[in-house]
Structure 1
Amino acid sequence: MKPFAAARAFFAFALAAVVCVAAPVAAQDEDSGEPLGEPVAGAGLRDRDFGVLSRQFGLDRRVEMYQWQRSTDPVSGELGYERIWNSAPIDSTRFEPGHVNPKRMPLENRRWWSESATLDGRPIDSSVLRALGEWKLFRPNFSRLPANLAATFQPEGDGLGSSENPLAPQIGDLRVSWRELRLPALEGKLELREGAWQLKPEAAAAALNAAPARPSATVLGELPRDRRWSWTWLVAGVAAAAAALLWLRGRRRRRAA
Structure 2
Amino acid sequence: MDLRKGMSMPGLMLSIVGALLVLAGIGLAAVTTRGLLNYRAAASRHGGEVMDLGSNARPQAGQHGAMARVVGTPEVVEAPHDPEFNLRANTPVLVRHVEMFQWREIRIGGNVHYELDWVDRPLDASHFEDPAGHANPVSFPISGKQFDAGLVQVGGFKLGPVLLHALPGTEKVTPDPKSLPENLAASFSRHQNYLVTSARPDDPQLGDVRVSWDEVPLQQLTVVGRLDGDRLVPASEAADGKGYDVQLGDVPVLDMFPDLPIPPEFVWSWRILSVLLTALGAYLLLAQRDHRDVPLAVGLGGLAVGTVACVMWIGGGGRDMYGWLAVAVLGLALTIWRLRRRS
TM-score, structure 1 normalization: 0.62
Cα deviations by residue, 1:59-102 (Å, 9 ceiling, x for unpaired): 1110000001111245xx32221111111000012442211100
User: Secondary structure of the equivalent of 1:81?
Assistant: strand
> Which residue type is aligned with residue 194 of structure 2?
G
Q: CA deviation at 1:161?
A: 0.9
Unaligned ranges ≥5, structure 1: 1-25, 218-257
Contact 1:154 1:160 in 2 (8 A): yes
Between the aligned partners of 2:146 and 2:58, the Cα distance in structure 1 is: 39
Aligned pairs for 1:166-205 (under 5 A) are 166-187=201-222, 189-198=224-233, 204=242
Corresponding residue number in structure 1 for 2:165? 130
Unaligned ranges ≥5, structure 2: 1-55, 253-343
Cα deviations by residue, 1:130-170 (Å, 9 ceiling, x for unpaired): 12332211212332112221211111111211111122211
Q: CA deviation at 1:45?
A: 1.3
Aligned pairs for 1:1-257 (under 5 A) are 33-35=68-70, 38-73=73-108, 77-95=110-128, 96-187=131-222, 189-198=224-233, 204=242, 213=248, 215=250
> Which residue type is aligned with residue 105 of structure 1?
F
Tell me: CA distance 1:206–1:81, structure 2 relative to 1, closer, same or farther (3 Å).
farther
Percent identity over the alignment? 27
> Which residue type is aligned with residue 152 of structure 1?
S
Q: How many residues align?
A: 188
User: Secondary structure of the equivalent of 1:41?
Assistant: strand
Contact 1:134 1:183 in 2 (8 A): no
Cα deviations by residue, 1:24-57 (Å, 9 ceiling, x for unpaired): xx99996794436543222121111111111210
Between the aligned partners of 2:215 and 2:57, the Cα distance in structure 1 is: 35
Contact 1:132 1:184 in 2 (8 A): no
Between the aligned partners of 1:188 and 1:56, the Cα distance in structure 2 is: 17
Tell me: CA distance 1:137–1:204, structure 2 relative to 1, closer, same or farther (3 Å).
farther
Between the aligned partners of 1:94 and 1:85, the Cα distance in structure 2 is: 19
User: Secondary structure of the equivalent of 1:189?
Assistant: strand
Instruction: Tell me how large the CA RMSD over aligned residues is.
Output: 3.3
Contact 1:51 1:142 in 2 (8 A): no
Deviates more, 1:132-141 or 1:26-35: 26-35
Q: Which has the larger radius of gyration?
A: 2
